[in-house]
Structure 1
Amino acid sequence: MGATKSKSVDLPALSSFEAKDNRLHNDRQRHRSKMKEEPETMFEKEVCLVTEMQDEEMREVEIKNRKVLLIKSNGEFSAIGHLCTHYGSPLVKGILSHGRVRCPRHGACFNIKTGDIEEYPCVDGLQSFKVEVQDGKVILSISARVLDLNKRTLDMVTRSPADKGVILLIGGGPASLVCAETLRQEGYKGRIILATKEMHFPYDRPKLSKQLDSQIENILLRKPEFYTMHGIEVLTNKEATSVNTRKRKVSFKDGTIQRYDNLLIATGSIPRMLDCPGAGLKNVCLLRTPEDANQINELAAGSNVVIIGTSFIGMEVAAFMAEKAKSVTVIGTSEVFEEQAVKFYMLDHVTELRGEDGLLKEIELAGGNVLPADICVVGIGVTPATDFLKGSRINTDSKGTIVVNEFMQTSVAKVFAAGDVTSFPLPLHKNQSVNIGHWQLAHRQGHVAAMNMQRKMIGIRTVPFFWTLCSGKSLRYAGYGAGYEEVIIQGTIDELKFVAFYIKEDKVVAVASLNYDPVVAQVAEVLALGKTISKSEAEDEDRPWLKNI
């Protein structure tokens, strides 16, 4: 489906969009009926003996040259897709715990019986397959129809013209997408409108800094036809300018107004710009959209690239550019990438950007150095995109983030918020309010908001999980380390293979690792179970805390 751009305040009960949606729904019903009538071909295979697998063991088995993850837990066997639906990591290397398996790299979790999502980031569950035990043998049965399928879109209802409800989602990131999908999974049949100021449907934003030449069609979280199939209206180039919570209406930059019954605000953040002479020169770039990434990629080839800021985005851009730019310089405090021919200026900052005919030519630093620069990428942090809420009754804190409770509810009834714009109570931090801009958290918060729009009263119970990959180096982080008192290191920092445990009040509050998988996922699982790791346990290289999983 193309981008939907409505000029009316309230669409008719049955719009052309909805009529098309109903036709698709009827076509799907006929297709399903036909499938039920046709005999289903099943493939069966004995994959092992019952005695060949230990309890709480996972292994990959093959049937018709396709891999499946076979699991034995509490004496019972189950089988699901073998690859995480996020980025395809092998789950056999993950963590099996209390009826679910956690991805070793990015923390997503799946139910070992159903394949359903139990933790994010991902939008699809896993296929589940029939397993039987006959005469001490484990028999795997798989339908020919799903033999090639690892992942599974969870069942959803679609739009019903009889339901006059309207849920409006502002923002085009994973929080809005997961909220919309969860609503349909939970049986909501009213209108769902996803309005984004971007020109694209929701996409995988973290990929932009890791692969600047990404094309939008390759990073979409869902294809356009998905939204049509499930009755989710997507309005692109649709920027909110104000919210009237008394009348339950949102005004947009194009002059339109949309009423709502429930509202989700998930507008994300805005990159900070430099505040110094020359900041407005051409070739001084921010990285926020696919168009930004593509422009940076084109300008950087064979050029002198200067990156301001040592955020993860800055480091990822530096790593990507190391082999294609003439030179790459980072103004910040880290030396991690020195071996990649990236020059660092530590404890320094920019005082002026100079150019000719409006184009950037060089950058002056406070320390006196003048750097040649054909392009400058600015990565000095972000601010929440909440200016449009001024004058509304929605409470924001001193930093502009929206204050929500554990149910992702704002200070106003029927208004929820999720993602980077929120400050929310984190159980790991004694339910103190925090603002964490993790991709995984945006998914989880979107899910929680949807559940509570449906009055499920589900709280935000999650362990923050972050990852990045630069120049082949895998960095993971889980927990919340603010106010940590000491760090315990295992491994070798010089060899860039170690794990760091952040300690506060004699227990682990966060963990980070470099090339040391799957320790971070293991710690995340312990914390997710509500258990703790003491300082003495963190110091013990035998990892006695693993017994808590």
Structure 2
Amino acid sequence: MNQTKQFNILLLMADKGITLDTTYLVIGGGIAGVTCVETLAILHPEETLVMVTASSLVKNVSNVSFFAKTVVKFDVNETEASSLQRIHPNLNIVYDSLQSVNTKNKFAITSNGTVIKYGVICICTGGIPKLISESSKSKRVLGIRDTESVQEFQEKLKTGRKMVIVGNGGIASEIVHATRGIQKVWVIRDDYISSTFIDPGAAEFFQNTFRRKTSEADPPKHIISRRHVFSEEDTVVALNKDLKSAALGPDWFRKLEDIKNETGEQELDIIYKTEIESINEFQDKEYPLQVKLTNGRTVLCDFVISATGVEPAVNFLWDQQPTHGPDGGLAVNEFQETSVRDVFAAGDVAHAAWTHAPHWFQLRLWTQARQMAAMAAKSMHARTTNQEVLQDFCFELFTHCTTLFGYRVVLLGKYNGQGLGTDYEILLRTTPCLEYVKFVLQNGRLQGAILVGETDLEEMCENLILDQIDLSPFGDDILNPDIDIDDYFD
């Protein structure tokens, strides 16, 4: 059945459904959807707003603090969707998932047949999993996205002796760091760990922490992860690709820290530059799974964690298709509006199709989901009230604050030389088990930075990147720990 016939059938079914009428319609209960709702509640509290969420639990942000103008850390909490009605009395919550959108007549239809007429709509449906191809053959291949999938993982950890982790982003890194009492084989296709966020030097810095024999220089054990989110290689979603509930918050892996298999060995084996070739399951073997790798090696284990990325969740029908980006996301301009008027998108489902600032690029993170959603809300309000709106300053500079292996990590600008070719230089300062600082310079001007540990250099780096000050007169002293260089630039 083609999409046109499906759409017409849905229209006939919708005649018997409940009809709502609203100025603002937001689809999704993740960080993007909730941020959009909260921003609209501030900008236009007297107008009606409908939020469609598949789960009664949604994600909201708290404890927001700034290291600099654009460097933000925050906590992501899981809360009852009904709590949002306290900040927006005109909010109506529909517990359902989006089935179709009629952009010409401006109404949406949910899976249960509820018809919602809108003035402007924001699509914040997030991402769906790109699990390894062998995942459909065994229930022992797990993905992690929502609370239910974490609970399943916890049960596996209680009795598991050995697991294989596939992927090299934030989720995989956090699993390696947080789990105890189980043998771990980490399979990555790169030649160093956590390549989504860091460079080989920082990877070596972190791996040295694995090798430490004493705990004298250990970082605090209960640092809260400030991940906003997860990136393309981070977000691991449950095996059901139709799952529409919101992704986990950045502190999800804290749920794992109390799960310890006292009978298992603590061991980590990292296998570089290889991928999964096949997974076979047995009923009468010591280990139920046999994982064959492309390098010829075979690993026996109890279960596999697939952490290999997400793709935009555009799994609903349209009367007219908006323009899509090369990654499949809904292409949006600098105001987060799609190619269809009055249809906005934010978060993982959106592709940033505007001309980017020199030091900003899209990476599917909780930080950017929050930024894009706030921008979408401002644009929706401006459209409704016929006002002018300018793009937010946060899109001038890529920033991300997270925690990896117990250390604070701040990324700024072109931190891995993205788009600079080979015409750049790197300055490094590292203190084992304490800090790792990397500056990326081109023509004497700072283009990006990686800051691991409590460096207190975030504001200085932000200023240097945005102002493009010539640092040539300072030479290598820009990272000399005996010189308080930030006094010159704050």
TM-score calculated relative to the size of structure 1: 0.61
Selected match of 1:172 from 14, 19, 29:
29
Cα deviation, residue 385, structure 1: 1.0
- Would the alpha carbon gap of residues 507 and 196 (structure 1) be closer, same or farther in structure 2, given more than 3 Å must change? farther
* Residue deviations 1:48-70 (CA, integer Å, cap 9, x gap): xxxxxxxxxxxxxxxxxxxxxxx
Cα deviation, residue 344, structure 1: 0.2
Corresponding position: 1:354 with 2:280: yes
Gaps of 5+ in 1: 1-6, 12-163, 206-217
Selected match of 2:108 from 240, 244, 250:
250
- Would the alpha carbon gap of residues 296 and 452 (structure 1) be closer, same or farther in structure 2, given more than 3 Å must change? same
> Does structure 1 retain, via aligned residues, the 8 Å contact 2:292–2:299?
yes
Q: Could you tell me which residue of structure 1 aligns to residue 404 of structure 2?
A: 470
- Would the alpha carbon gap of residues 185 and 219 (structure 1) be closer, same or farther in structure 2, given more than 3 Å must change? closer
Identity across aligned pairs (percent)?
A: 21
Q: Equivalent residues in 2 for 1:82-481 (5 A)?
A: 165-202=22-59, 219-220=77-78, 224-231=82-89, 232-236=91-95, 238-276=96-134, 279-301=136-158, 302-321=160-179, 323-325=180-182, 327-332=183-188, 333-334=191-192, 336-337=206-207, 338-339=210-211, 341-357=267-283, 360-388=288-316, 392-424=320-352, 425=354, 427-429=356-358, 434-455=361-382, 456-462=388-394, 463-481=397-415
Q: Which has the higher contact order (CA 8 A, sep 6+)?
A: 2
C-alpha distance in structure 2 between counterparts of 1:524 and 1:246, whole Å: 44
Q: Could you tell me which residue of structure 2 aligns to residue 531 of structure 1?
A: 467
* Residue deviations 1:483-531 (CA, integer Å, cap 9, x gap): 134452332275562111233565333211221432235423554xx42
Cα deviation, residue 8, structure 1: 4.0
In the comparison of the two structures, how many residue pairs are matched? 371
- Would the alpha carbon gap of residues 516 and 395 (structure 1) be closer, same or farther in structure 2, given more than 3 Å must change? same
Cα deviation, residue 279, structure 1: 4.3
C-alpha distance in structure 2 between counterparts of 1:275 and 1:534, whole Å: 49
* Residue deviations 1:241-268 (CA, integer Å, cap 9, x gap): 3222111122222233322111001111
C-alpha distance in structure 2 between counterparts of 1:525 and 1:535, whole Å: 12
Q: Secondary structure at the match of 1:219?
A: strand
Selected match of 2:429 from 488, 491, 509:
491
* Residue deviations 1:288-345 (CA, integer Å, cap 9, x gap): 1011112112212342111001111111111111x232x0110014354453842100
- Would the alpha carbon gap of residues 234 and 496 (structure 1) be closer, same or farther in structure 2, given more than 3 Å must change? same
- Would the alpha carbon gap of residues 199 and 184 (structure 1) be closer, same or farther in structure 2, given more than 3 Å must change? closer
Corresponding position: 1:10 with 2:26: no
C-alpha distance in structure 2 between counterparts of 1:427 and 1:305, whole Å: 41
RMSD of aligned Cα (Å):
3.0
Q: Could you tell me which residue of structure 2 aligns to residue 519 of structure 1?
A: 457
- Would the alpha carbon gap of residues 534 and 427 (structure 1) be closer, same or farther in structure 2, given more than 3 Å must change? farther
> Does structure 1 retain, via aligned residues, the 8 Å contact 2:22–2:119?
yes
| Structure (1 or 2) with the larger CA radius of gyration | 1
Cα deviation, residue 532, structure 1: 2.0
* Residue deviations 1:434-486 (CA, integer Å, cap 9, x gap): 53212122112211111121214131321332233233222221224521344
C-alpha distance in structure 1 between counterparts of 2:18 and 2:411, whole Å: 45
Q: Secondary structure at the match of 1:227?
A: helix
> Does structure 2 retain, via aligned residues, the 8 Å contact 1:201–1:234?
no
* Letter paired with 1:470: L
> Does structure 1 retain, via aligned residues, the 8 Å contact 2:41–2:87?
no
Q: Secondary structure at the match of 2:400?
A: strand
- Would the alpha carbon gap of residues 487 and 303 (structure 1) be closer, same or farther in structure 2, given more than 3 Å must change? farther
C-alpha distance in structure 1 between counterparts of 2:406 and 2:110, whole Å: 43
> Does structure 2 retain, via aligned residues, the 8 Å contact 1:438–1:464?
no
- Would the alpha carbon gap of residues 376 and 533 (structure 1) be closer, same or farther in structure 2, given more than 3 Å must change? farther
- Would the alpha carbon gap of residues 194 and 223 (structure 1) be closer, same or farther in structure 2, given more than 3 Å must change? closer
TM-score calculated relative to the size of structure 2: 0.68
Q: Secondary structure at the match of 1:202?
A: strand
